[in-house]
Structure formats: structure tokens, C-alpha cells
Amino acid sequence: MKIVSAVMLGLCTVIAAACGGADSPPASGTTASAPKPAPAPPPPANRVFFVSPANGATIKPMSTIEFGSSGVTVAAVPPGELKPEQVRANTIHYHIAVDSDCLPAGTAIPKADPWVHFGDGKKVIEMSLVPGAHRLTVQAGDDMHRTIAGLCETINVTVAK
Amino acid sequence: MKSETLKVNSVAVACAGLAVLGLVACGGSEPSSAPAAAPPAASAPAPTDKADGPGTITGAVTFAGKAPKPRPLPMDSDPQCAKLAPGATSEVILVGAGNGIKNVFVYVKDGLGTRRYAVPASPVALDQKGCTYVPHVFGVQVGQTVLLSNNDPLIHNVHALPKNNREFNFGQPAKTPPVERVFQQAEIGLPFKCDVHGWMNAYVNVVTHPYYAVTNDDGTFEIKGLPIGSYTLELWHERLGTQTVPVTVTAEAPAKVTASFKAPS
């Protein structure tokens, strides 16, 4: 019976670890035995990242892409034209570009190819891609769509035929 | 032994509960923007009615007052678009000859009773061309395929924001193949937008039958193949609102409908 209990507890741990938070980075591994209370985690570094696909992954021509973040608040851009003093601190929304690199900090992300804006604060999109190698870049912008130092990630994927 | 069994059972129950919570949390964090792959067709009864009735409705929709000048589209943010479609103007209110309004969606809202119609096998096409959606307003039947193409040499995304159907949002870079989507619920004025180019908007109108039309440049329209009877037409415009018109259809001559929209106050 103890064996059954251990298996069930292990399963619980795996489920909890696999699910994580909606904005947690992809898990790098799981542990089944954690009897000691874990030390308080350090404050998360501000970053944005791809939840999926993983860097180096081979994906389908139409794939779901999901972003995540830590240390920042993701929110929809307020309606209307904003003044710089109205920009909310530490609040971002995502942008994705295909086959493009991160823009320098402080750049206004253009409302133009190749940047898809997520001004509604959402974090998922399907992406159609032609087969072959592609770069995907997720970059955070503030309420005025300005890039923020360190809040960008680029991954490489291969789209299968 | 009994207490140990209870202990195991309680662990199992707790774990099952956690698993359910886990599934809900993992799968349901953002259901509205989940991929909207074409869902399976609804298991509806087989269609029994053909759209080959003897009745026709013709009509014209006009704009009351001075027609607004077409507003230039602000394509400056993307130089490629500005180059592709120099001088492009907004399609929100387009008034043509005789003050006719283009892009009014006209459909039979009431009067068809329990009739059911086959879903057309051919898709309805929506292109992204010159950094605009073509057509700007269109109709489709519930269950009919919409084929979305990008004919521009740059990326667009198609973000549908329905009230009754499932939201979808996909990116469509240049040279990628057309994408199919299907709407399973009737819905009038369902907006599409591009999150790259803020001026790009289109509206699909999803209806349960084939009796609809979109007004031409001069505001005219025609709906054919209706059974004889009395109907309520609804006229929908993205900015000017809606109105309904009663109409009686006979076999002898087309029923004529005229309607007018005022400028928004």
C-alpha cells in the first residue's frame, strides 16, 4: 500500500510540475521526492520567452505558438493615444516576428511587416510557415509599443514538409 | 489495514481531483484564442430543401444626405503597403451612383420556417491583397468553408473576433498556402482584423441559408430562388446599423425593396 501511495504522490507531483503557471518557463525536469521544504525562489528575472515551440524544434506548417514571461505584467494596451507619463511601469504586451531579429531597446515596434502585435494582451497565435528553417522572435513592448532591454527572445525552428 | 486502505483511497481521490484541476488549468487558460482548426461538421439532419424557388427580391439601399468622401487609409506605417496600394481609401462607408451604399449585407432574417438547405461545397474566398481584405463584406453559410489567402509579399494575420463562434488568430506570411476556416453558428457582422496593419478590417456574415446578398457599388442587390411567401429582410451595415424590411415574394414578378440609411449621428 505504501508503494501505491508513493506512486500516487509522485503522479501528483508530476502533474503539478508539468502544468506550472500559465507564464512559467518550460520545465527542464521533474523530481518525485521533495520531502524538504524548498527554499524561497529568487525573484524571477524579467524576461519573455517561447513556451512553444522549443528552440530547435521541428514543427508543422501550421503550428501554435505560445509566449510566456516572468517578472512583468502582460496586459492589453489601453485604448486611445497615450502620453509617455501614462505608460504603465513593468507592463508589456507581446509581438512576434518571423525571420527577423530582436529590435534594439527603446525602438518603437513598427506596425508593419514582420511584426504581429498582441495589443489585446493575449499570448497565443497559430502561424503558417513554409517548409524549411525559420527564426521566430518574441519581443515585448510597453504601452507605447517601445521595446524594453532584455525582453526579447529568438528561437530557430524547422518547418517540416 | 482498513485505515491504510482509506489513506490510499484518499490519496487517489486527492490526486484525481488535482489531475482534473491540472487539466482545467493547463487547457483552459486562454480558450478563446485556442487554434480554431476547422471543427467537425455538426450532426444536423440531412438538408431537404433546394434553393430553387420561383421568387426573387431586388432592391437598392441608399445613403440619406451628403455622401462622405472616402477617407485615405493610413498605410504610412508600412511602406510596403503604401507602395502596393497607393491612394487606397477606407471602405467603411462607400457611396456610389444614385447615393447607393456598397457593402450592405442583406439577408432573409425571418420567414423560412423550418426549411433546411445544403451547405455549398465550394468555399467562399477572402483575400488579403494590397493590404486590404477583399471582399470587405461577405456572406457564408453555416458549415461552409472560408478560404483565406494572402496574396501580398508580406505578413498578415487574420484575427476573427466572433460573439457566437470560436475566436481564431493566425499569422500568414507571404507565400504560405491558403487557410480554411468554418463557422458553426449563425452570426452577423463578425469582424476580422489584422494585427499588423490596423486599418485592415473585414466582416463575414454567417447565415443558415443561401438567401443573402451584398450590395454592389450602386447599392443594388438581388436574391434569387426564394419560395413564395412573406419574409423579413435585415439590412446590416458595419457603421450605419441595421434595419428590417417586410417583403412578400410571389412567382409573378420580383419583389422590390428600397431602404435608406442616415449618416451616424
The pLDDT tens digits of the residues spanning A12-67 come to 343 333 333 334 444 433 344 556 677 776 666 899 999 999 999 999 999 999 99
Q: What is the distance between the alpha carbons of residues A95 and A98, in angstroms, rounded to a whole number?
A: 10
Amino acid A11: pLDDT: 42
User: pLDDT for A115-146, tens place per residue?
Assistant: 999 999 999 999 999 999 999 999 999 999 99
The domain locations on chain A are 1-41, 47-159
- Residue B184: phi and psi, rounded to 5, are -105, -5
Q: To probe the interface with A, which of B176, B180, B181, B193 has the most A CB atoms within 10 Å?
A: B176
Contact with chain A for residue B196, Cβ under 8 A: yes
pLDDT digits (tens, 9 = 90+) for B68-82: 998 999 999 999 999
Mean pLDDT within B31-50: 54
Residue A40's pLDDT is: 74
Q: Which region among A67-76, A128-137, B45-54, B81-90 has the lowest average model confidence (pLDDT)?
A: B45-54
Question: How do residues A73-105 score in pLDDT, each as one tens digit?
Answer: 999 999 988 898 999 999 999 999 999 999 999
Using the predicted structure, report yes or no on whether residue B109 has a pLDDT greater than 80. yes
Task: Using alpha carbons, select from B196, B192, B193 the residue that is nearest to residue B183.
Answer: B192
Fold for domain A47-159? Answer: Immunoglobulin-like (2.60.40)
Residues 26-55 of chain A with CB under 8 A from chain B are none
CA B84/CA B18 separation, integer angstroms: 54
Q: What is the arithmetic mean of pLDDT over B81-92?
A: 96
| Cα gap A159→A15, rounded to integer Å | 30
Give the total residue count for chain B: 265
> How far is residue A147's CA from residue A110's CA, in Å, rounded to a whole number?
11
pLDDT for the residue A42? 63
Give me the mean pLDDT over the B16-26 stretch. Answer: 37
Residue B233, CA atoms < 13 Å, CB-side half-sphere: 30
Residue-wise pLDDT tens digits, B130-181: 999 999 999 999 999 999 999 999 999 999 999 999 999 999 999 999 999 9
The pLDDT-based confidence of B33 (bands split at 50, 70, 90) is very low
Which domains does chain B show, CATH number per domain?
A: 54-111+212-265 (2.60.40.1120), 118-208 (2.60.40.420)
Minimum-distance CB partner of B8 among A4, A15, A125:
A4
- Interval B39-50 mean pLDDT: 65
| Bridge partners, B108 (sequence order) | B233
Instruction: Write out chain A residues lying below 8 Å of B11, CB-based.
Output: 4-5, 8-9
Among candidates A134, A21, A79, which has minimal Cα distance to B155?
Answer: A134
- Tell me if B5 and A116 make a contact (CB, 8 A cut-off): no
B113 CA to centre of own chain: 23
Q: What are phi and psi of B114, to 5 degrees?
A: -95, 10
Res. A5 pLDDT band, cuts 50 70 90: very low
B102 near B215, Cβ under 8 Å?
yes
Q: How confident is the model at residue B29 (pLDDT cuts 50, 70, 90)?
A: very low
**Residues linked to residue B245 through DSSP beta bridges, in sequence order:** B233
How many residues are listed for chain A in this entry?
161
- For B1, nearest residue in chain A (alpha carbons): A1
- Distances in Å between the alpha carbon of A127 and those of A39, A52, A120, A124? 39, 12, 18, 10
Q: Dig out the grid coordinates for B94 from the structure.
A: 462607400
Cβ contact B242:B236 at 8 Å = yes
Higher pLDDT, B36 or A133: A133
CB contact under 8 A, B11 and A112: no
Which residues does chain A have within 8 Å of residue B26's beta carbon, measured at their own beta carbons?
18-19
Question: Considering the entire predicted model, what is its pTM?
Answer: 0.80
Which of A11, A15, A128 lies at the smallest CB-CB distance from B176?
A: A128
Verify whether the Cβ–Cβ distance A16 to B35 is below 8 Å.
no
- In this predicted structure, the answer to whether residue B192 has a pLDDT above a threshold of 60 is yes
Measure in Å the smallest separation between the Cα of A43 and chain B Cα atoms: 23
Report CB contact under 8 Å: B81, A125: no
For residue A127, the chain B residues in CB contact (below 8 A) are 170-171, 173
Write the CB contacts of B233 (distance below 8 Å, at least 6 apart in sequence): B57, B59, B106, B107, B108, B109, B244, B245, B246, B247, B257
